[in-house]
A and B are shown apart, each in its own frame.
Chain A
Amino acid sequence: MSIVITVTSGKGGVGKSTTLANLAVGMADEGKKVVAVDFDIGLRNLDMLLGLENRIVYNVIDVMEGKCNLSQALINDKHSKSLYFLPASQTSDKNILDKVKVKELLDTLKKEFDVILLDSPAGIEGGFEHAIAFADRALIISTPDVSSVRDADRVIGIIDAKSEKAQQGEEVVKHVVINRVKPELVERGDMLNTEDVLNILALPLIGVVPDCEKVISSTNLGEPIIRDTKAQSGEAYRRISKRILGEEVDYLDLSVKKGFFKRMFT
């Protein structure tokens, strides 16, 4: 059974595409056949995060318009045989996506892949609606700051309204990923903690990713951080990938080491 997972956030710049790139690698490493589809039409970015920007010939719009075959547009990852990437087009015509064609594309992808990851554009407009319309699951990425949480809440509120699945009375499974957490700030009371964010968004958690300087260099290199076995954020993504696939994994211990007493009470 293949599954369509949409990664979304509302606010831009919270690490949506970075998260998607890492989870795509993570789930492929877990033995699933994964395709990462960039639905951020006009603002292609997933290609660079995966380090595949030089291999693009055709894009997702070309496939939907029949200008090429799916296999011509799919790009195989450099390292993983079971990970494929379908780039966004760089057209500025936002209305180019068509619901019927999106469904057709996803149905075709479902025949070949176990996991279809859709990178939704920021915002709540057309592009987002197409990305969420046929999702089985949604991952909502939020950083622990007021604007990101607020926008995430707004997106959560409209997912069901835009989802075909929800309209047929089924449930779109939604989970929160809290990204760029700085444990020292949380401990000091200067950053919303996991509990606060989950309380406000009223959704279950699937992962907390610590803020990590290494993500910047990994982005520079086009190598998702999950491939860095020493990076804490990479480990966080690895665990999220497993959780998505149904495995129960402990959460990373992000507490600032301060000894027994402090931990007892926080």
Chain B
Amino acid sequence: MSLLTSLFGKKSSSANVARDRLKLVLAHERASNALPYMDEMKAEIMEVIKKYTQVKDIHISSQNNQNIDVLEMEIILK
């Protein structure tokens, strides 16, 4: 941000709104993009589970706590 805007403030221009909206939506999307192999992995896990029991859906979420990346998987059975 330029010195002028930070000194005197600025009426929120449409470009600033665009920037903020983009940042928000991308923060959200990147979290779900971060693991590009997710869909394939999910399908494969599903196949394996199907061999043994009936599965309805799988939810996988990723989290990072401090320095550990965690994949959390929830398997919903029929």
- Is the beta-carbon distance between B26 and A189 smaller than 8 angstroms? no
* A146 close to B (CB within 8 Å): yes
- Is the beta-carbon distance between B15 and A190 smaller than 8 angstroms? yes
* Number of A-B contacts defined by CB within 8 Å: 51
- For A161, the chain B residues whose CB sits under 8 A away are 36-37
- Is the beta-carbon distance between B23 and A200 smaller than 8 angstroms? yes
* B64 close to A (CB within 8 Å): no
Option from B16, B22, B34, B37 in Cβ contact (under 8 Å) with A189? B16
CA distance A199 to B20 in the complex (A): 11
- Is the beta-carbon distance between A188 and B13 smaller than 8 angstroms? yes
Bin the interface of chain A by size. Answer: 20 to 34
- Is the beta-carbon distance between A192 and B33 smaller than 8 angstroms? no
Would you call the interface of chain B mostly helix, strand, loop, or mixed?
Answer: helix
* B78 close to A (CB within 8 Å): no
* B18 close to A (CB within 8 Å): yes
- For B21, the chain A residues whose CB sits under 8 A away are 146
* B59 close to A (CB within 8 Å): no
- For B72, the chain A residues whose CB sits under 8 A away are none
- For A192, the chain B residues whose CB sits under 8 A away are 15, 18-19, 22
**Contact A153:B15 (CB < 8 A) given known A146-B22, A265-B2:** no
* A-B contacts besides A150-B29, A192-B22, A200-B26, 16 pairs, CB < 8 Å: A146-B18, A146-B22, A149-B22, A150-B26, A153-B26, A157-B33, A157-B34, A188-B13, A189-B15, A190-B13, A190-B15, A192-B19, A200-B19, A265-B2, A265-B3, A265-B4
Q: What are 17 pairs between A and B in contact, CB < 8 Å?
A: A145-B18, A150-B22, A150-B25, A150-B26, A153-B26, A153-B30, A154-B33, A157-B30, A157-B34, A158-B33, A161-B36, A192-B19, A196-B15, A199-B19, A200-B23, A200-B26, A265-B4
User: B-contacting residues of A (Cβ < 8 Å)?
Assistant: 145-146, 149-150, 153-154, 157-158, 161, 186, 188-193, 196, 199-200, 265-266
User: A-contacting residues of B (Cβ < 8 Å)?
Assistant: 2-4, 10, 13-16, 18-19, 21-23, 25-26, 29-30, 33-34, 36-37
